[in-house]
Structure 1
């Protein structure tokens, strides 16, 4: 960027011969307009410009495009501007008249700086993912070690408690017990005991399901039909909340060779979550499409959504935002584990207050 047409055009031509692809701008306004439309790695700009000054242009660039490196060109009497530019985030500055080889070297150094910054960012992201995976692995190892023993130890007293609660209920409902004080309160207490037993059993069964390695039973699965069957299991909840189910798919079967029992579990968990997330008169949209090698399913709702801070945790074991008596924190963990075992992928997008979308990709044939 330089307002001297002759100087700018000459430098651009010579840089083009050196293998660069220069884009010219004669003002700060034009420079910022170009950056908003085209990808640029390095900006070489003159400090003394009509309109927006080079320093102000530099500040605008660094605020809007943090990855772009800026090299300033100053006159011999305005070296202080170059120093001010360095403080504002410029990569370096050169004084006019500039030597082309010097400018070329600076541009190459600026591109190298961009590359190093990108590698540094990738390394930081990789380390964060690795640390999370190590934490998850440690948690799962601990979960696997404890789950079998805990589940079996809990199930035995649960059976005794359930049997005793049933006996007490039978005694209380006898005609001769019709006048005992607080009979209704006692029956309500027994009902709460029975509900808590069911919840505890659900947790132990889910735990055992993850620890035990089950051999997949591969067969032909019509995913569209299986979706319909699963919705049938949730028909009562759907009708009670007057939820509208929208389908986005063609009339063709969506067939894959996989484990129908595990896929059914995926659908039950995700559809149950969607039904729970939407309010009365809510909408759940089911989209199905296929390629030559895979089938894709999207389950989208316009419910409460997931806070951004929780998106990275929803597939962790025992993570839940539901009340204690409504969720175990294992549902989405189950989904992720099963889909991974079926060589598929699951991703989620969500906006708080607007809804969530779970995208599943499964191979048409599980090897």
Structure 2
């Protein structure tokens, strides 16, 4: 049987309805984060296999049970890799069920970490994660800790978390999420973290590259519930972080408590259950408050979009506040509104 590769979009209702049914049959929820979806249709116009991508991650890979064993998954994956390569994206990642991982290994994907029994994180560059680990330089210290933050943007709340961690540790590794999907671009977020911590000694700032997980893009489409997704994400985070910790001799990870986010609170609870098994303590630091509410980056972004920058001086380090008032900062804000 011959198959034709065709795009699948909402504007194509017949194809789109078939795609929804294919995902349902495969036990996969529709992912809300997709850049493009393609499918293989037989001579009768029936969808037999599909795949999608979002940025540099493959998602929603599905093959009709009646057509498995015909190499359709291989065709889908290779076509997505070809299209991403033409767009300049040469390194791809995929989150999948453990039972599906063996189908992707022959197609050039390699395991980075696994969180049984829910998810495997794989990459298309053999040894990519090993090279990332080797790029991290260990620092001498008796009590070495770490924080992972998005810092979108860097607030007094982030600074408080760092300062509290330094009361316990003599070396602190600070990882800034490199995923560039935030209100503030990655380079700006990292710059503000560097400027806001330059007065502190023994703080070492790192990129997360593509390996530290961002909750904004973690694909929960095959996990079905928010609770299960948060748990799986945290356990996968723990599996990856434990390898980073071994490289840098990290023995403690700090997180801020999340009184306003039940999902992130579930995430923290899963970290508390997972990381100690790897010999890493987890310390939850209460949020710094201002004007009777926790300081959060989302609170800051809301004020920015509402044109209330003047109200933020009490929530932001001087360096972040000055950036917002600068020509560059004002241009970014205008663009985002």
TM-score, reference length from structure 2: 0.23
**Greater relative contact order: 1 or 2 (C-alpha under 8 angstroms, separation 6 or more)?**
2
What TM-score, normalized to structure 1? 0.21
Higher helix residue share: 1
Higher strand share: 2
Q: Which has the larger radius of gyration?
A: 1
